Amino acid sequence: MIGRLPLKRWLAERLRRPTLGELGERYAARFLRRKCRYRIVATRRRLRYGEFDVIAVDGRTIVFVEVKTRRSETGPRPALAVDEHRRQRMTRAATAFLKSHGLLEYPARFDIVEVIWPVESRRPQILHHRNAFTAEGRGQFFR
C-alpha cells in the first residue's frame, strides 16, 4: 500500500488522463503564479462547505479562485456559471478556511479565471476577473 490506497488504485489514479477542468485549473494556477505574481497556497482544496480550485496570496490578501474551463468561445461566458448559490457556498467555505487557519484578520477576495481551450489549440485563452464578486450570505467578514 502507498499511503492509504492499495497499489493498483494508486497507480490507476496516477496514470489516468486529467479532465479538461483539471487541465484548466493547472494552467490557471500557472498563469496566476507567473503573470500575476500570486503565491499559490493550495489547489483543488475540498472543505466541508465547498471546494476551491485555487487558493493564493496576493500581497497580504488571500484570494479564493474559481476556475471555469470551456472548449468553445460560443455561448455564455464561463464566469456566468458562478451563480448566487455557488457564491454563497464559496463564501461559507472561505470563512471556514480562514477561521481554521487563524487568518480572519487578513483581507480576502474572490477571483474567477475563465479558461477557453479549443480542441485545435495547444494553449488556452485566459481571462482573469480580479475581485469578481463580494462575499454573499450571512455572517460575512469581508470588507
Confidence of residue 133 (pLDDT cuts 50, 70, 90): very high
* Pairing relationship of beta strands 61-70 and 108-116 according to DSSP bridges: parallel
Residue 10 lies in a domain: no
12-19: long-range contacts at Cβ-Cβ below 8 A with a sequence spacing of 24 or more? none
Quote the number of domains for the chain. Answer: 1
Residue 65 lies in a domain: yes
Instruction: For the chain, give the percent of residues with pLDDT over 90.
Output: 56
Among candidate residues 125, 136, 34, the one with its CA nearest the CA of residue 95: 136
**Residue 136 confidence (pLDDT):** 75
Residue 140 lies in a domain: no
**CA-CA distance, 140 to 88, in Å (whole number)?**
10
Among candidate residues 121, 30, 119, 107, the one with its CA nearest the CA of residue 67: 30
* Pairing relationship of beta strands 108-116 and 50-58 according to DSSP bridges: unpaired
Helices within 37-141 (DSSP H only): 84-100
Residue 43 lies in a domain: yes
What are 19-74's pLDDT values in tens digits? 888 999 999 999 999 999 999 999 998 888 888 999 999 999 999 999 999 988 77
Residue 139 lies in a domain: no
Residue 42 lies in a domain: yes
1, pLDDT greater than 80? no
**Residue 76 confidence (pLDDT):** 83
Residue 14 lies in a domain: no
pTM to 2 decimal places: 0.83
Domain that residue 80 falls in: 19-133
Give the mean pLDDT of 90-106: 92
Please report, for the domain that includes residue 42, its CATH number.
Answer: 3.40.1350.10
